[in-house]
Amino acid sequence: MANQYYDVRVDVSKPEVFDSGLRFTQGDSAVIYLRIAVMNGASKFDASNTTPSVNFVKPDGTYVTGTPVSSGDVWVYQFLGNELQAAGRVLCDIKFTYSSGRISSGKFYIFVEKDTTISGAAASGSYVLPMEQALAEMNNYKQQGKTMAEAAESSAMDAEAWAVGKRDGADVPDTDPTYENNSKYYAAQAKISEESAAAIVGIGIATTTTAGIVKPDGTTITVAQDGTIAVGGSSGATWGNITGTLSNQTDLQTALNAKQATLTEGDGIDITSNTVKVDTTFSDASSRSNIASGDLFGTILGKIKKYFSDLKDLAYIEKDGTSSTKYLRGDGTWQTFPASGDTVSVAGHGTASATVTHEQQITINSTAHDIDGTKYMEQTANSASFTFTNAAITANSAIDVYTNTWGDNPTNVSASSGSCLVTFAAAQSRTVRIYIR
């Protein structure tokens, strides 16, 4: 007879019991499977960390309990044979039990039709799969056996550690309580003590030629309570008082032998003049750059030479101490500015009385001329307004105004043909200079 499969869908989020619509015949002994799709609302139920079971409560009050198997998206339960023995409505409950004891379940009804032709059918009764019980007991015994085996293994390792200072064949670390506290360690210590005691037996008193036992005299050699030996009664050796043969001090003799006996010519050493020569061979650096820590001597010389090579003649002209009254000529010499009233020769004017100011302007025969073509004018007075007259001033002239006091700015500057009026907020002693552009 072919296997029979019946499908049903339950929702663990809904507590109500529903009729699955599934109908079976009482005592049906065919191979019957329930395929149960378990949902949690709109999503598939997550059965992780749970123990599943299917329970049938029959109309006569007896029950059957079995275990479903996960298969893809469904849980498959095979009828054990006693689920259909009582006619009527059967409550089916698929449960998922968590380790905390919490249970998620979905309930539904199936209906078992009475079959009056069945004779000698097995009586209905409660049934729990014997194999599941046996499996549970076996797993319990298995876990107990595993626990006992682990305990035995741990005890064996402890015994090994206390006996020979090893766990599972490896030396115990110094944090282990059996470190230097085991039978093997103490046996080794006893062996050392035994050998030391045997070595002492038969040793005589030390002499100048024979090793042996030395007795502290309490002065030059003393022994403290903790057994520490100290040598006293001597201020130590000093140079001039050390005797013996130098060659017998082999480490010192070896060090002395490795030294150069006399200086030899070469490697920058000049024996004749008692000087050390330094190689000053170098090449000019390709570009100006500062010397850096770790530069070779030749590299440093090359950088310095590059700076000197790039300097021009002007760098070697000494600055005159009164250069505020002198200027540097194109031929590299310092020339004193002409003083007011000096007779100078001005191209286009011949020889005339001239007044020279530091504003690069010269007044010749009462007429102002700018050496570089610009116009500077200056007045000093205790006043709030200053009027400057110059043929170069027009109504459209661009005029820069300067004062000798920081922040002392004019409130108005008015230019007209040949004249410029500079006005300040209040009268005070000030120097005002204008530059006509």
Which segments within 155-296 are labelled E, that is strand?
Answer: 166-167, 170-171, 221-223, 229-231, 269-270, 275-276
Confidence at residue 183, expressed as pLDDT on a 0 to 100 scale: 87
Confidence at residue 358, expressed as pLDDT on a 0 to 100 scale: 43
Confidence at residue 359, expressed as pLDDT on a 0 to 100 scale: 47
Residue 127 CB-half CA count within 13 A: 19
Coil vs helix vs strand at 275: strand
What is the chain's pLDDT, residue by residue, as a tens digit (437 residues)? 678 999 999 999 998 999 999 999 998 888 999 999 999 999 999 999 999 999 999 999 998 999 999 999 999 999 987 899 999 999 999 999 999 989 999 999 999 999 877 654 556 666 555 555 666 567 667 777 787 888 788 888 888 888 888 888 899 898 888 888 888 888 888 888 777 766 666 677 888 788 777 778 777 788 887 778 887 655 566 777 777 888 888 888 898 888 877 766 666 666 666 666 777 889 999 999 999 999 998 899 999 999 888 876 556 555 554 445 565 565 656 667 666 556 655 444 455 555 544 445 555 555 555 554 457 789 999 999 999 998 889 999 889 999 998 889 999 999 999 999 999 999 999 999 988 87
Q: Which two tokens stand for residue 67?
A: 């275990």
Q: Cβ-count burial of 45 within 10 angstroms (0-12 exposed, 13-18 middle, 19+ buried)?
A: buried
The 3-state secondary structure of 131-160, one letter per residue: HHHHHHHHHHHHHHHHHHHHHHHHHHHHHH
Q: What CA–CA distance (Å, rounded) separates 65 from 47?
A: 19
Q: What's the CATH number of domain 4-128, 3.40.50.880, 3.60.150.10, 2.60.40.3350, 3.10.20.340?
A: 2.60.40.3350
- In 10 A of CB 7, how many CB atoms? 12
